[in-house]
Amino acid sequence: MATELKLQIGNFEEKINAAYDKLIEEKIITRLWKKDFTIWRDDPDEISNRLGWLDSPESTKAAINEINGFVEEIRNEKFTHALLLGMGGSSLAPEVIRLTFGVKEGYLDLHVLDSTDPQAVLNYTQKLNPGKTLFIVSTKSGGTVETISFMKYFYTYTKNILGDNVGDHFAAITDPGSGLESMARELNFRKIFLNDPNIGGRYSALSFFGMVPAALVGVDLNLLLEKSFEASEESKKESIENTGAVLGVVMSEFAKHGVDKLTLVTSDKISNFGAWAEQLIAESSGKDGKGILPVDLEELLIPEYYSRDRIFIYMHMKDDNSKNEKISSLVNAGFPVVELVLDDVYDLGAEFFKWEIATAIACWSLDVQPFDQPNVEQAKVVARKMVAEYQDKGKLPELTPELVYEGMKFFGKVEVTTANDAMIDFLNSFDKGENEIFGRSYVSIQAYVTPSEKVWNALHELRTSIQKRYKLAVTVGYSPRFLHSTGQLHKGDAGNGLFIQLVGKGGEDVAIPDSAGSVDSSISFGILINAQAMGDRQALIDNNRKLLRIDLGNNIESNILKMAKYF
- 3-class secondary-structure state, position 380: helix
Strands across the sheet containing 403-405: 403-405, 408-411, 546-551, 497-503, 442-448, 473-478
CA 335 and chain centroid, separation? 26
- Superfamily of domain 54-219 in the CATH hierarchy: Glucose-6-phosphate isomerase like protein; domain 1 (3.40.50.10490)
Strand-strand pairing, 408-411 and 261-266: unpaired
CB 206: neighbour CB atoms within 10 A?
A: 30
> Rounded to an integer, what distance in angstroms lies between the CA atom of residue 451 and that of residue 233?
39
Q: What's the DSSP call for residue 449?
A: S
* Domain residue extents for the chain: 4-18+240-366, 54-219, 374-564
| Residues in CB range of 189: below 8 A, 6 or more apart | 137, 167, 170, 171, 172
DSSP 91-134: THHHHHHHHHH---TTSPEEEEE----HHHHHHHHHHS-GGGEE
Please tell me the chain's helix, strand, coil percentages from 3-state DSSP, rounded to the nearest 5: 50, 15, 35
Which residues are paired to 434 by β-bridges? 438
**What's the topology of domain 4-18+240-366?**
Rossmann fold (3.40.50)
Task: Write a three-state SS string for 554-567.
Answer: CCHHHHHHHHHCCC
- What pLDDT tens digit does each residue of the chain (567 aa) get? 456 899 999 999 999 999 999 999 999 999 999 999 999 999 999 999 999 999 999 999 999 999 999 999 999 999 999 999 999 999 999 999 999 999 999 999 999 999 999 999 999 999 999 999 999 999 999 999 999 999 999 999 999 999 999 999 999 999 999 999 999 999 999 999 999 999 999 999 999 999 999 999 999 999 999 999 999 999 999 998 999 999 999 999 999 999 999 999 999 999 999 999 999 999 999 999 999 999 999 999 999 999 999 999 999 999 999 999 999 999 999 999 999 999 999 999 999 999 999 999 999 999 999 999 998 888 888 888 888 889 888 889 899 999 999 999 999 999 999 999 999 999 999 999 998 899 999 999 999 999 999 999 999 999 999 999 999 999 999 999 999 889 999 999 999 999 999 999 878 999 999 999 999 999 999 999 999 999 999 999 999 999 999 999 999 999 999 999 999
Interhelix angle 419-427/453-470, nearest 10 degrees: 60
Evaluate if pTM is beyond 0.95: yes
The answer to whether 510 and 102 are in contact (CB under 8 A) is no
> Rounded to an integer, what distance in angstroms lies between the CA atom of residue 567 and that of residue 474?
14
The answer to whether 424 and 562 are in contact (CB under 8 A) is no
Of 249, 263, 336, 255, whose CA–CA distance to 289 is shortest?
A: 255
Class of domain 374-564: alpha beta
